[in-house]
A and B are shown apart, each in its own frame.
Chain A
């Protein structure tokens, strides 16, 4: 249980703003204990930088328990670092060895312009939801919740897809910068529930088109997204999205 101390060398991407070319800077952080989280290690780096009169490395995090989807970073070439089924905030320094060099880069995709350092603009994902990621039910009173039964299996599967935290790791991992896993997860969630059926066709059509419009790439079925997804959402959802799309196309 006792924590081990370690030193790590960092190569961190620094970029002033969207238009800046950006570059790597090297830092060394000493006296890290292996039960610190990766982000706490970055916190320490920032305290050190502040004390040295330098600007902090800008990165994002919020809940630090793997559910809000705010944290990002490609760590040694892997979105959210080496652990599968986890976000960066759930990465602990015990995954690294004393003396390791860690390369930290922002999510890279045309649709995710860098705001500063490791912070990128992921609002494109919001705009995909805006055009159809909902059942369309009005707010306010509705028929009793048990008036439409949903087979347990469907509810469970819908939940598998609904678990998406919108972090964008799928886009970051994809060699084409595709948001197909993100988009299809919502489409799959909605297609599995009867409540999602009224808007079925317009949903998939609009969301797919918005995805293209935002500058996300297409899916070449490699599945890097699935491996990087902190919620382990399966690319079967992408096949569901395509079926929904062809179905909508035929009926249009």
Chain B
């Protein structure tokens, strides 16, 4: 049975919703806060900031991280910056404009109330981060510097060289480590969440595996916060780190949490192209490069293999500038990515694979000088040179889109609580704020907004009404969950013993290829249906045995870890295809070939699809049930996006 989901957003004018929420929310008596334990899984921007904030608020926090140290979480790789409606540049920015841009950029598939709150707290994030010692770029006046980023027309992006994510993460990590020192946070590293424990309908704990010893443990709390990031690695090749996986969120999903908009993935237009079969990872080049670089391919497919410097101006097609005269090279990510695919499909792609377009700095170097370009992009150019062995000062960069971010995630309400009471989901792991497409420099903003400025309040509101029951870690729910986690590990070992044609890695790569080809930048009904059956077949192959050796002590083992994650990704992949099939419109990063304007732009169908798709697991992905949260737009009226 399909149900309609309630966002639980406060009523009233959008400007005052969050203030009203805070005024009306229930508070936990300070003396009682210490009696509440909260589990936080994940230590990226959202998880680390949530751990620090909740601990400072007075709760006992148990934080879990899959890495050897919390500082490695993938937030660290964000290069470009963080948006905030500070209007320091006096160029007409405001909370409303950031809200407007985010809703529009997300192609009207996000919840207005959440987005407005995000824009509102964005300014506090900058204040907080500066107080935490984040060395943002500054002007000679000593004031903070801003730049325009990723297609916005105001300069609202704060940055710390090309390492903004790193610096913000370290700020949050350090704040959390201070609470570790205060004994308010109990930190467990090299620990993976294997299952969520739900007792009497409430999230009450997790089952974990120690990635060094292999020990399986039960952890109990009054609430569980998941801040475990996105699932871009379902595509195998992506810009995401190896430990970025869906397992924690997927296990929560299998325990009843709805998965929102799984098909909404973001493809980043400027990544270093794939060079060979053994490639394990794609490297993103900051979008800021598009501020000065010009994107082009040869006009004629016959020229595609020629050296770029040999091609005369007249033989080059600056296709973004041609098709989108007002935004040019700065069109949103999905538009830039799709256009790169089109020109490559036409045979005009460059490089040995034919899957790349040029990003050329020749004109910028001529206009601004070598030094200015070096100062602005020196580290990126260096990185590109190291990877490709080509010098971008001399030869245009080659770029191709790659999966970068997933807007979808566990469904949450305005409180950032999933449909399971007591299970909160923050950051990229939830579906909430970016709709069908995320603007550049907004991921960092959302992670920190959720962790520093939202969860401390909504968690208090939840815990104030929380009544503890008799449950302990000896309760049957805990024992069952532990047994099922142990069962999975035994199952993996058995699969390895059985043996098979392929290694897990090879099966994983096949999954990625299916996802990229059929559930990637452009999707259509036939392809999606094919994808579903191919993924099912692949899952069957996996379940019938793989080439895998696991150490006898069942301790540290990459093979075992990867196998368990691949098992989850094989299910998620199918759900993504299913969701993409169900959403017969194009919006943002989700482009259905059947639904496009005459210009080849994404064409939304607001009448039928102005909703969040939230999937409920029913024992098998093929049986998953779709629930909807309808989206209404009171402030930003949906229009056909146009970047012409």
Taking the complex as a whole, does A directly touch B, i.e. does some CB pair lie under 8 Å apart?
yes
Given the complex of chains A and B, what is the CA–CA distance between A1 and B556 in angstroms? 38
Interface size band for A: 35 or more
Chain B residues with CB below 8 A from A37, complex form: 280
Q: Is B163 an interface residue (CB 8 A)?
A: yes
Chain B residues with CB below 8 A from A62, complex form: 67, 72, 74, 241-243
Inter-chain contact A44/B547, CB cutoff 8 Å: no
Given contacts A141-B127, A142-B127, contact A43 B278 (CB under 8 A): yes
Q: Is A28 an interface residue (CB 8 A)?
A: no
Chain A residues with CB below 8 A from B275, complex form: 3, 35
Inter-chain contact A152/B138, CB cutoff 8 Å: yes
Question: Which chain B residue lies CB-closest to A18?
Answer: B212
Measuring CB to CB, which residues of chain A are less than 8 angstroms from any residue of chain B?
A: 1-3, 16-17, 33, 35-37, 39-40, 43-44, 46-47, 49-51, 53-56, 58-70, 83, 85-86, 89-90, 92, 94, 115-116, 119, 121-123, 125-126, 129-131, 133-146, 148-152, 155-156, 158-159, 162-163, 165-166, 189-190, 193, 195-196
Inter-chain contact A123/B128, CB cutoff 8 Å: no
Given the complex of chains A and B, what is the CA–CA distance between A33 and B76 in angstroms? 29
Question: Which chain B residue lies CB-closest to A125?
Answer: B69
CB distance from A18 to the nearest CB of B (A): 10
Give how many B residues have a beta carbon under 8 Å from the other chain's beta carbons. 87
Which 7 pairs across A and B sit closest by C-beta, in order of nearness?
A: A149-B142, A134-B174, A137-B131, A64-B281, A158-B135, A159-B135, A145-B130
Contact of A141 among B124, B212, B505 (CB under 8 A): B124
Given the complex of chains A and B, what is the CA–CA distance between A96 and B8 in angstroms? 59
Inter-chain contact A90/B548, CB cutoff 8 Å: no
Stretch at the interface among B287-295, B381-389, B579-587: B381-389
Question: Which chain B residue lies CB-closest to A143?
Answer: B127
Inter-chain contact A63/B241, CB cutoff 8 Å: yes
Given contacts A137-B131, A145-B86, A162-B135, contact A90 B549 (CB under 8 A): no
CB distance from B576 to the nearest CB of A (A): 23
Measuring CB to CB, which residues of chain B are less than 8 angstroms from any residue of chain A?
A: 49, 52-53, 56, 67-72, 74, 76-77, 86, 88, 124, 126-133, 135-144, 160-161, 163, 165-167, 170, 173-175, 177-178, 180-181, 189, 212, 239, 241-243, 275-276, 278-281, 283-284, 351-352, 382-383, 386-390, 452-453, 456, 503, 505-506, 547-549, 551, 553, 555-559
Inter-chain contact B557/A58, CB cutoff 8 Å: yes
Question: Which chain B residue lies CB-closest to A94?
Answer: B389
Given the complex of chains A and B, what is the CA–CA distance between A61 and B72 in angstroms? 10
Question: Which chain B residue lies CB-closest to A90?
Answer: B386
Chain A residues with CB below 8 A from B175, complex form: 134, 137, 139
Given the complex of chains A and B, what is the CA–CA distance between A43 and B243 in angstroms? 15
Question: Which chain B residue lies CB-closest to A89?
Answer: B281
Interchain Cβ contacts under 8 Å between A and B, 27 examples: A33-B276, A40-B279, A43-B278, A46-B559, A47-B506, A50-B503, A53-B549, A55-B551, A58-B557, A63-B76, A63-B77, A65-B77, A67-B77, A68-B67, A70-B68, A83-B386, A115-B556, A116-B555, A123-B189, A126-B189, A129-B174, A139-B56, A139-B175, A155-B138, A158-B133, A159-B163, A196-B133
Question: Which chain B residue lies CB-closest to A134?
Answer: B174
Contact of A35 among B189, B389, B553 (CB under 8 A): B389
CB distance from B593 to the nearest CB of A (A): 32
Question: Which chain A residue lies CB-closest to B549?
Answer: A55
Chain B residues with CB below 8 A from A141, complex form: 124, 127-128
Given contacts A137-B128, A149-B141, contact A67 B279 (CB under 8 A): no
Given contacts A68-B74, A134-B177, contact A115 B212 (CB under 8 A): yes
Given the complex of chains A and B, what is the CA–CA distance between A72 and B555 in angstroms? 20
Given the complex of chains A and B, what is the CA–CA distance between A16 and B212 in angstroms? 11
Given the complex of chains A and B, what is the CA–CA distance between A4 and B387 in angstroms? 15
Contact of A140 among B53, B67, B170, B389 (CB under 8 A): B53
Given contacts A49-B549, A56-B549, contact A165 B166 (CB under 8 A): yes
Given contacts A40-B279, A141-B128, A149-B143, contact A50 B547 (CB under 8 A): yes
Contact of A195 among B132, B167, B177, B557 (CB under 8 A): B132
Question: Which chain A residue lies CB-closest to B160?
Answer: A159
Chain A residues with CB below 8 A from B505, complex form: 43, 46-47, 50
CB distance from B394 to the nearest CB of A (A): 14
Chain B residues with CB below 8 A from A86, complex form: 386
Inter-chain contact B278/A36, CB cutoff 8 Å: yes
CB distance from B449 to the nearest CB of A (A): 12
Inter-chain contact A69/B174, CB cutoff 8 Å: no
Given A70-B67, A142-B124, 16 other A-B residues pairs in contact with their CB atoms under 8 A: A33-B278, A40-B278, A43-B278, A46-B558, A47-B506, A63-B76, A68-B76, A121-B212, A126-B177, A145-B136, A152-B140, A155-B137, A159-B167, A162-B170, A165-B166, A166-B69
Given the complex of chains A and B, what is the CA–CA distance between A201 and B557 in angstroms? 42
Chain A residues with CB below 8 A from B160, complex form: 159, 162
Chain A residues with CB below 8 A from B212, complex form: 115, 121
CB distance from B225 to the nearest CB of A (A): 15
Chain A residues with CB below 8 A from B71, complex form: 69, 126, 166
Contact of B177 among A66, A129, A149 (CB under 8 A): A129
Given the complex of chains A and B, what is the CA–CA distance between A163 and B352 in angstroms? 35
CB distance from A46 to the nearest CB of B (A): 7
CB distance from B613 to the nearest CB of A (A): 31
Inter-chain contact A146/B88, CB cutoff 8 Å: yes
Chain A residues with CB below 8 A from B283, complex form: 64-65
Chain B residues with CB below 8 A from A90, complex form: 383, 386-387
